[in-house]
Structure 1
């Protein structure tokens, strides 16, 4: 009888997948060798937040009351292993109440709370669970992931990957993909990663081949496996000042004209301020952040005001003062600011140290440009974005990739553009703008101007009338 060779099914959770993509060496030690790593305070806090929100959502699903007494009892149980001051506990309760208000206002129905899923494909299986699926007030499904930090702490790649995997696994028609950040009680619109199937196949094959090289990332300085990591040890053998030299390189990489490189360099510097065991490195990182003058560093600098090292605390205070000076011109021009990186308008942050202005989405102040009094979104023009004096023009639809973009527009133009599929474009742009729940200007206040003779049907015109006034011009 002919032998039949069967290939063992490769199983991986989303957490394991994300660990491998961050650092294959860490994945090997945790999941191949089974090293036991104690949870950090941040991890315990994140678990507590997820537990509280899960229980609140399930009570709402069952139609049960969520009283103040219940929230007190719930928080006391969830935070039992975390040291927290009375003021901190009261703040935690306030954030739970804020979430309760937010979800009641946003969801007409909670469809599921922590829904498990699995993807089976050609010999491998990935498992996980979603935090929340809701039906919004317009009847559309939205997939929500909870993060225990504030919006400035979100790592875009991680959350885009996470929601991309969830979308691929659930295979449902979602109207929106959102992250809810517990610390600042804000909703964030997320564009999930694409080509998830190809990524999963690649990771599964690399793990089968036992490819576990170390990979540098912003967690290296805090990693419990530093002493046995070939990357860390190799860098330290090249010179005792490895951290200090890498920090200097990051500072030299702060070129605002290379926006992606700048963002990565800022994350490295903030990582050293948060995670370095060397107080001199932390103090130098704080100084560099002050020189950069970018308010995206405000949270980490405020944390450093409580650093055990006096030199670090002094450097952090000095850096915050430099941020305040860099902010003066921005606050004066607030009404005409827009982020040159993401094309969103700013928001104001109020802290005990003062008021700061940052992009409402990316959190940076370095990319804010002034002098823009009107932002015009265009459906029908092939240009990406361009500026004419005090007007900024943004293409809202890419006909080739069939993708809509989001931006803080003041007016929407629909122009005559040959073979464009206006039905697809107008609906996609509308959905993209509608799903941005943090937008300051509602769609009903954004007028639509039809320029030329675009071929628009009745259904598309109905969608455009959900904006402000529709007129020809």
Structure 2
């Protein structure tokens, strides 16, 4: 596998594949199209807003000196961050069915923050990076990108990628699916730096479990090949203009049912420039 230097800011405007969009396409090509080509707005859910708020607290926690990274300090950040989040996302208040529900929801957020301190001791950690934007090209020029919650670097240079999850840990049948995002980050880091992370760590705050995996070079090379094949399918859809819907149990949570033929809806005409961006994604190889 060839290695590439990190890419500059102009590349952010190019069509690129993230772990979320890769999962979207595998789940339902129409969902992928509506998010990546049409770029339609989605209302979000209380679960996604909760995740954003918890991540904001845990990111800022490490701005404090080690000795001040306490539960009370973390909880003390919450009111200000919640106010700022509400101002930036006024639609969030419409997701609550009653004013009393807001306080119960904030109590859930507090519980997740407290849970974090049972899983790690932030006073003993000095992250090298937080909310790190990463991107690199594969051998064919396909641009991969994502945001890593936290990067820890040991004295010997070994890297650990850490991701916080506000839901429950996966059952045995879904562990591989959960690790997909982390392997994706490991692949991008290897392409950027010529060295894979030693460890991938998912921290599940809802049920207090930590899932770790030490990636092998062979599995990252296999993932790169899988992503190339997936993008071949994306390009085929873009050329034909047909991003077919795919029914699954996840349809129940989709915010685009009104635009889906499987539910009696009709998707809008796809913007031509959006499809053109997908077809141009590999041209800078």
Shorter-normalised TM-score: what interval?
A: 0.5 to 0.7
Distance in 2 between the 1:135 and 1:212 partners? Answer: 41
What is the aligned partner in structure 1 of residue 235 from structure 2? 208
Aligned to 2:225: 198
2:165 pairs with 1:124: no
Determine the C-alpha separation between the residues in 1 that align with 2:189 and 2:113. 28
**Structure 1 stretch 41-50 or stretch 137-146: which is displaced more?**
137-146
Q: Specify every segment of 5 or more residues in structure 1 that has no aligned partner in the other structure, as ranges.
A: 1-7, 235-473
Written as runs of structure 1 = structure 2, the 5 A alignment for 1:291-440 is none
Change (3 A) 1:9 1:123: farther
Whole-angstrom distance in 2 between the partners of 1:143 and 1:169: 12
The match for 1:70 among 73, 76, 84 is 73
The residue correspondences of 1:20-59 to structure 2 (distance < 5 A) are 20-56=25-61, 58-59=62-63
The match for 2:180 is: 161
Which is higher, the Rg of structure 1 or of structure 2?
A: 1
Q: Give the whole-Å Cα distance in 1 for the aligned partners of 2:214 and 2:157.
A: 20
Partner of 2:189: 170
3-state SS in 2 of match to 1:213 = coil
Q: C-alpha distance in 1, partners of 2:43/2:243?
A: 22
* Counterparts of 1:53 and 1:23, CA distance in 2: 32
In 2, Cα distance between equivalents of 1:109 and 1:222: 38
Q: Is 1:103 matched up with 2:120? A: yes
Deviations 1:88-135 (A, max 9, x none): 545533432442353327965422212211021323212111111224
Indicate conservation of the 8 Å contact 2:189/2:196, yes or no: no
> What CA distance in whole angstroms lies between the structure 1 residues aligned with 2:35 and 2:122?
41
Partner of 1:348: none
Consecutive aligned runs of 4 or more in structure 1 exceeding 6 Å deviation = 136-139
- CA root-mean-square deviation: 3.3
Q: What is the aligned partner in structure 1 of residue 208 from structure 2? A: 185
Aligned to 1:226: 257
Say whether the 8 Å CA contact 1:133–1:143 is kept in structure 2: yes
- How big is each residue's C-alpha offset from its partner over 1:178-233, in whole Å with a ceiling of 9 and x where there is no partner? 11011122211246664121122122222222252212232112322223323445
Q: Given the superposition, is the C-alpha separation of residues 27 and 95 from structure 1 closer, same or farther in structure 2, using an over 3 Å criterion?
A: closer
TM-score scaled by length of structure 2:
0.66
Structure with larger RCO (C-alpha < 8 A, sep 6+): 2
Q: Report the CA distance shift for 1:226/1:90 in structure 2 as closer, same or farther (over 3 A).
A: closer
- Judged with a 3 Å threshold, the aligned counterparts in structure 2 of structure 1 residues 174 and 123 are, in CA distance, closer, same or farther, namely closer
Q: What SS class does the counterpart of residue 59 from structure 1 fall into?
A: coil
Partner of 2:159: 141
Provide the aligned length of Structure 1 versus Structure 2: 225
Q: SS of the counterpart of 1:212?
A: coil
Cα contact 2:152–2:160 (8 A) shared by 1: yes
Higher strand fraction (1 or 2): 1
Gaps of 5+ in 2: 1-12, 87-91, 266-285
Q: 1:150 to 1:74 in 2, by over 3 A?
A: same
Decide which moves more: 20-29 or 78-87.
78-87
Give, in angstroms, the shift of residue 73 of structure 1: 3.3
